[in-house]
Structure 1
């Protein structure tokens, strides 16, 4: 495989993911179940997606990092379209004999995947040792998870009515916030196992210097 072909692959894979995420975002904005909820849910997606597009040239992450980050962007955008409690996910819910829709748990698990790019960035920039970068990635996700639950509660109180209930998405579970934070943390741990195996800081450091 020539150097030109390898370079083309490096460019095309993130581009394919970016186009896929863009397509899902556009689709989600077409007749969403609750336009007010869609707007509130799509804001954090754009706050992550747009900076990734802008900074691609300055700091291209590994393909693994972009893949992991795309999972949450897509799942959260799907949840924004339907609201998380109403995503068509019956095949899984029935499989585990669940009384609630567990799609939101998968979305929360996938936000934990961002521990991987956090650790990758810190280690490739040589700001700290890889193990410390991984620890920072884990604690960052745990902090974001707690902060997001507070924002959910605040918005639900502010919006009120059906929009507030759908945005909160607790589906009657009094421990929903704690379970969501646990899912975020478990997702982070899973992604950091991948980080320890793949060691992106060994192969890609030269790209950003």
Structure 2
């Protein structure tokens, strides 16, 4: 009951942020394309809660990822104020917020994939699990880059805000690299905690 209350509260916060961000985004089409994953995730999480509730850790990560996406959609990734602050701190010549987004694109899906594979007993803990999780992360990242490519072909110059390349010719490769770093980081730093959360959840079901 407590977990469902927290989930509902998180969803209310996200819906509120979506409404606020959607009032006057920098670019309406870009906003919609960036927040679509959030719009999909919210009903999926509710629909799956009774049959397949997730660990608190994973719900928290999805919440944080949603905020990253909403901010990126509101300002466009190349204009998020936090990115300009980070660029100033590290003396960078471009807004790096899109790299935060792609890091999260690896970090969070890694735990999603790990939880599904372990709890459905598709794989057991070990090197093969880590390998498959990283492969899934890279596949998701590659799929997203293909979506960006399709958007560029369909929208032409109008896709510039969605792509957020900022003139960087290796943007696609670096995006996938940051997703890879995110996936590896999640496995290195969260696996033990994630295992504890899974066992706790199993005991409560």
Does the TM-score normalized on the shorter chain lie above 0.5?
yes
SS in 2 for 1:105: helix
Residue 88 (structure 2) pairs with residue 94 (structure 1) = yes
Shift of 1:64: 0.6
Shift of 1:203: 2.3
Residue 139 (structure 2) pairs with residue 143 (structure 1) = yes
- 8 A contact 2:142–2:176 mirrored in 1: yes
SS in 2 for 1:160: helix
- 8 A contact 1:13–1:63 mirrored in 2: no
Structure 1 stretches of 4+ moved >4 Å: none
Shift of 1:41: 1.8
User: Normalising to structure 2: TM-score of the pair?
Assistant: 0.90
- 8 A contact 2:55–2:198 mirrored in 1: no
State the match for 2:153 in structure 1.
157
2:202 to 198, 201, 205: 205
Per-residue CA deviations over 1:37-67 (Å, capped at 9, x if unaligned) read: 1122222322233211221121111111111
- 8 A contact 1:24–1:78 mirrored in 2: no
State the match for 1:39 in structure 2.
32
CA distance in 1, matches of 2:204, 2:104: 27
Gaps of 5+ in 2: none
**1:26-175 superposed matches below 5 A:** 26-89=19-82, 90-112=84-106, 113-131=108-126, 132-161=128-157, 163-175=158-170
State the match for 2:5 in structure 1.
12
User: Normalising to structure 1: TM-score of the pair?
Assistant: 0.88
More displaced 10-residue stretch of structure 1: 108-117 or 196-205: 196-205
Gaps of 5+ in 1: 1-6
Shift of 1:20: 2.1
- 8 A contact 1:105–1:180 mirrored in 2: yes
- 8 A contact 1:120–1:133 mirrored in 2: no
Equivalent pairs, count: 200
CA distance in 2, matches of 1:130, 1:182: 25
Per-residue CA deviations over 1:1-32 (Å, capped at 9, x if unaligned) read: xxxxxx52x23332232222222211221111
- 8 A contact 2:114–2:133 mirrored in 1: yes
| RMSD (CA atoms) | 1.7
CA distance in 2, matches of 1:130, 1:139: 16
